[in-house]
């Protein structure tokens, strides 16, 4: 008996000593645990966020992408998914789940290795805020003690809220609200059961179960979470099965948000950083831009469609690159997705790996896990590169990387990354608020903002400013000017003789200015500038915001040979749209701090509230509007009025020499827009790629949305205009009253009598001499 009793007594003694030592360690360690102030006064790093004017997120900047939410705002489906995946007894245990520890130990013993963990949500909070992830007994002891201390000082909901906001979930996402936006492009309140299960599976190993980096493993983890939710009674079998079948649309572009406005978001970031340089990326500042969500989306779609349409007109250039298929065991090898991760997305232009190909059929694996089949018309664009005679380094064959895009019917077709660039910007002519801005085809490929940074020749889109200067010199819309070849001597150019041409090579003889502008007659513009003087015109255009030094005082100014940006052009056209007032474009409406207090405001008053903003005579603006409406009705931009079914649009196409730049700038009284298309390294866009062909469709695409519910309206004729008398049976035209010969002093302004395109004014002796 004593033989048995002595060992048991010794063992009990050792246990008591062990317990005593543990209590001593706890007694010594507990008082030295860190203060919980960081939890009770939780101040996470919140990134700088950029929004549209109507409250849609378009960008965020900071080391940690985080959106803090209160526990009351977390949907039950998200809470239940987290509890099912991480800690189903969270609301029962006191910080340490002894039942879970025993269960995990048994599972690990049976499996012959360490397979399951038993960390509670409280332990994870302790680890995330205070400890490292090293696996030592000392760290585990401190983790357990901290968990007990946290449970004694915070409620369960407070602990759960900290976990939901602090946990790292991959892709720089901290917290489930940020992860919902990053992975699914939606707020946490809108996620589905399937999406909640996917997110809840991330804390275990964000890199291993990341649906962007490892979609297959993420799916396996999601299935486990859904099974646990069903076992715990949070969802029934029908809901589980539906969630398992639900296709998840994962956002693969880290910069992608509900609205594509990366260029505008970057502009707003720079403004915020300049105004508040201290902690701008961590204090939770919110910048509200002037962008309007619907219009920004329309501009983005229109620009991309315009660029892709241009690109298709100029043929397929072949495969983008190639991957060595010998590295893969099969066409379903998981490593294919890993290899495709190095190929960046470009919006709706998705990369795909060709598995098989011939002239009638292409099978490809699309990034993200989908096999697609391309046949018939969907291969026409790339037909030349499916032939055996295609260049080996461009031919579509097994291992080729191609781009695919869905057509209007939702079917995949082969496309390609365009080489050409574009820009579009629109503003409110009343105060200069930017309503939409797209600085290029794809921000991730090219961060150069073509709206603000690209100095290009405006071509004929600059002519309205020369015409406006001429009106101030006494010309009228009905002044007759000769459209015939002209030779400028070397003495006038300062270098060599110049023999310009009309873009279409046709010459129509004498014609009214309004007809010449509508048909974009170069000879008329040159003669007009020659008459009013280049120095006068150079000074006059500064009223619109142009830099005089970028527009040398030569006759080439008449053809837009100077340098402008789309930002300058849209603000200059706003002067015509608002009746003659200069506006300064702005893109930030206000900035709010972390407590939602307004700390900066950028909204100026309407331009017409201060006559100091007046750039040109209201009569000048009215007559220019009248002439530029002709451009969109029967001139080089006639498709604008035809497609939008409106007659209150005004603007001007622009095509530079050798088809290097294509423009269309125009407006309706409530919105001004400017579109540009060209190559970063200037070169020929191709025959017939004029402003009306390449740029105008982008403008039309935007205006279709911007003017959707806007009634037609045209400017009211201002005081101080009269009609010239009829001459040779032709109707007169509008003229400044002070320029009207023998104008009766009490004569009231006449209403516009819109002449036909061929009408003109024969009383040339009333106006400055025009070179023939």
DSSP 233: T
Using an 8 Å Cβ cutoff, are 638 and 490 in contact? no
Residue position matching structure tokens 């294919």: 336
Q: What are the structure tokens assigned to 366, written together?
A: 């699309």
Q: What is the torsional sign of CA 677, 679, 682, 684?
A: negative
**Which residues are registered as beta bridge partners of 511?**
481
Query: Which tokens sit at 328?
Result: 């893969």
Q: How far apart are CA 78 and CA 84, in angstroms?
A: 10
DSSP label at residue 663: E
Q: Please indicate whether residue 86 is annotated as part of the active site.
A: yes
Q: Which of 279, 466, 444 is nearest to 351 (CA)?
A: 444
Integer Cα distance of 715 and 290 in angstroms: 25
3-state class of 614 per DSSP? strand
| 653 and 692 Cβ atoms separated by less than 8 Å | yes
Residues 6+ apart with CB under 8 A from 43: none
Q: Which two tokens stand for residue 144?
A: 């357990």
Catalytic option among 60, 86, 266, 482:
86
Specify which residues 591 forms β-bridges with.
287, 600
The whole-angstrom separation of Cα 181 and Cα 259 is: 12
> Residues 6 or more apart from 307 whose CB is under 8 A from it?
418, 420, 421, 422, 441, 677
Pull the structure tokens for residue 517. 């502008």
φ, ψ of residue 221 in degrees (nearest 5) = -65, -40
Q: From CA 645, how far away is CA 704, in angstroms rounded?
A: 10
3-state SS, one letter per residue, for 119-183: CCHHHHHHHHHHCCCCCCHHHHHHHHHHHHHHHHHCCHHHHHHHHHHHCECCCCEECHHHHHHHH
Please state whether beta strands 65-66 and 480-483 pair in parallel, antiparallel, or not at all (unpaired). Answer: unpaired
| Site of tokens 């423009």 | 663
User: Which of 460, 479, 641, 759 is the catalytic position?
Assistant: 460
The size of the chain, in residues, is: 772
Contact 662, 674 (CB under 8 A): no
Cα separation, 459 vs 163, in Å, equals: 59
Give Cα separations from 40 to 121, 151, 153, 175 (angstroms): 17, 12, 9, 18
Helices 193-200 and 237-245: angle between axes, nearest 10 degrees: 80
Burial 88-112 (b: 16+ CB within 10 A, else e): bebeebebbbeebeeebeeeeeeee
Using CB atoms within 10 A of its CB, is residue 490 exposed (0-12), middle (13-18) or buried (19+)?
exposed
CA–CA dist 420, 441 (Å, integer): 8
Residues 6+ apart with CB under 8 A from 596: 286
DSSP state of 761: B
Q: What is the CA radius of gyration of the chain?
A: 35
Rounded Cα gap, residues 181 and 258, in angstroms:
9
Q: Is 597 exposed, middle or buried (0-12, 13-18, 19+ CB in 10 A)?
A: exposed
Q: Which pair of structure tokens corresponds to residue 2?
A: 């004593």
Tell the residue number behind the tokens 């497609």, with chain if given. Answer: 643
Residues taking part in catalysis: 86, 460
């Amino acid at each position: 008996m004593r033989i048995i009793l002595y060992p048991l007594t010794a063992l009990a003694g050792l246990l008591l000593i062990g317990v005593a030592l543990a209590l001593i360690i706890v007694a010594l360690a507990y008082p030295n645990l860190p203060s919980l102030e960081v939890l009770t006064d939780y101040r996470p790093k919140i990134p700088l966020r950029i929004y549209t004017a109507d409250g849609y997120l378009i960008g965020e900047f900071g080391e940690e992408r985080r959106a803090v939410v209160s526990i009351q705002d977390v949907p039950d489906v998200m809470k239940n998914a987290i509890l099912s995946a991480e800690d189903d007894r969270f609301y029962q245990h006191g910080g340490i789940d002894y039942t879970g520890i025993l269960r995990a130990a048994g599972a690990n013993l049976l499996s012959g290795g360490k397979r399951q963990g038993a960390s509670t949500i409280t332990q994870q909070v302790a680890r995330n805020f205070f400890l490292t992830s090293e696996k030592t007994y000392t760290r585990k002891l401190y983790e357990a003690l901290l968990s007990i201390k946290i449970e004694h000082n915070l409620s369960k909901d407070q602990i759960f809220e900290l976990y939901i906001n602090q946990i790292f979930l991959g892709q720089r996402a901290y917290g489930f609200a940020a992860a919902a936006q990053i992975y699914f492009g939606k707020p946490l309140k809108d996620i589905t059961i399937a999406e909640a299960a996917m997110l809840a599976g991330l804390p275990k190993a964000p890199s291993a179960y990341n649906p962007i980096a490892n979609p297959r493993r993420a799916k396996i983890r999601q299935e486990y979470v859904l099974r646990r939710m069903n076992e715990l009674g949070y969802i029934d079998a029908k809901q589980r099965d539906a969630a398992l079948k639900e296709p998840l649309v994962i956002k693969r572009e880290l910069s992608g948000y509900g609205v594509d406005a990366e260029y505008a978001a970057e502009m707003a970031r720079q403004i915020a950083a300049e105004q508040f340089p201290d902690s701008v990326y961590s204090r939770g500042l919110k910048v509200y831009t002037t962008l309007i969500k619907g219009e920004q989306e329309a501009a983005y779609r229109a620009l991309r469609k315009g660029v892709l349409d241009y690109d298709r007109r100029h043929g397929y250039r072949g495969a983008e690159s190639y991957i060595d298929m010998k590295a893969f065991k099969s066409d379903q090898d998981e490593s294919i997705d890993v290899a495709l991760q190095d190929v960046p997305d470009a919006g709706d232009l998705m990369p795909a790996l060709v598995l098989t190909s011939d002239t009638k059929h292409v099978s490809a694996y699309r990034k993200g896990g989908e096999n697609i089949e391309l046949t018939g018309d969907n291969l026409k664009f790339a037909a030349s590169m499916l032939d055996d005679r295609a260049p080996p380094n461009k031919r579509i064959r097994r291992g080729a990387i191609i781009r695919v895009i869905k057509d209007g019917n939702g079917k995949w077709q082969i496309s390609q990354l365009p080489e050409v660039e574009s820009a579009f910007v629109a503003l409110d002519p009343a105060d200069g608020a930017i309503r939409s801005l797209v600085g290029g085809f794809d921000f991730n490929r090219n961060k150069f903002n073509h709206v603000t940074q690209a100095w290009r020749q405006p071509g004929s889109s600059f002519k309205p400013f020369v015409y406006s200067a001429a009106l101030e010199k006494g010309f009228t819309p009905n002044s007759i000017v000769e459209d015939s070849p002209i030779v400028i001597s070397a003495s006038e150019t300062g270098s060599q003789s110049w023999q310009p041409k009309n873009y279409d090579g046709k010459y129509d003889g004498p014609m009214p200015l309004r007809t010449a502008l509508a048909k974009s007659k170069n000879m008329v513009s040159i003669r007009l500038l020659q008459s009013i003087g280049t120095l006068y015109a150079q000074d006059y255009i500064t009223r619109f915001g142009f830099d005089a030094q970028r527009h040398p005082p030569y006759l080439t100014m008449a053809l837009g040979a100077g340098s402008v940006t789309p930002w300058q052009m849209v603000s200059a056209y706003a002067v015509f749209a608002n009746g003659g007032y200069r506006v300064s474009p702005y893109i930030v409406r206000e900035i709010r701090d972390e407590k939602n207090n307004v700390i900066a405001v950028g909204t100026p008053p309407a331009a017409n509230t201060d006559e100091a903003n007046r750039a040109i005579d209201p009569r000048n603006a009215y007559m220019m509007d009248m002439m530029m409406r002709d451009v969109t009705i029967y001139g080089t931009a006639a498709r604008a009025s035809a497609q939008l079914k409106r007659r209150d649009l005004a603007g001007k196409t622009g095509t530079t020499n050798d088809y290097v730049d294509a423009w269309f700038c125009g407006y309706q009284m409530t919105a001004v827009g400017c579109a540009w298309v060209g190559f970063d390294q200037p070169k020929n866009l191709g025959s017939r790629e004029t402003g009306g062909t390449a740029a105008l469709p982008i403008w039309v695409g935007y205006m279709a949305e911007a003017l959707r519910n806007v009634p037609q309206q045209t400017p009211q004729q201002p005081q101080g205009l009269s009609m010239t008398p009829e001459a040779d049976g032709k109707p007169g035209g509008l003229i400044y009253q002070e320029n009207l010969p023998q104008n009766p002093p009490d004569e009231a302004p006449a209403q516009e009598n819109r002449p036909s395109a061929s009408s003109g004014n024969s009383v040339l002796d009333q106006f400055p001499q025009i070179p023939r």
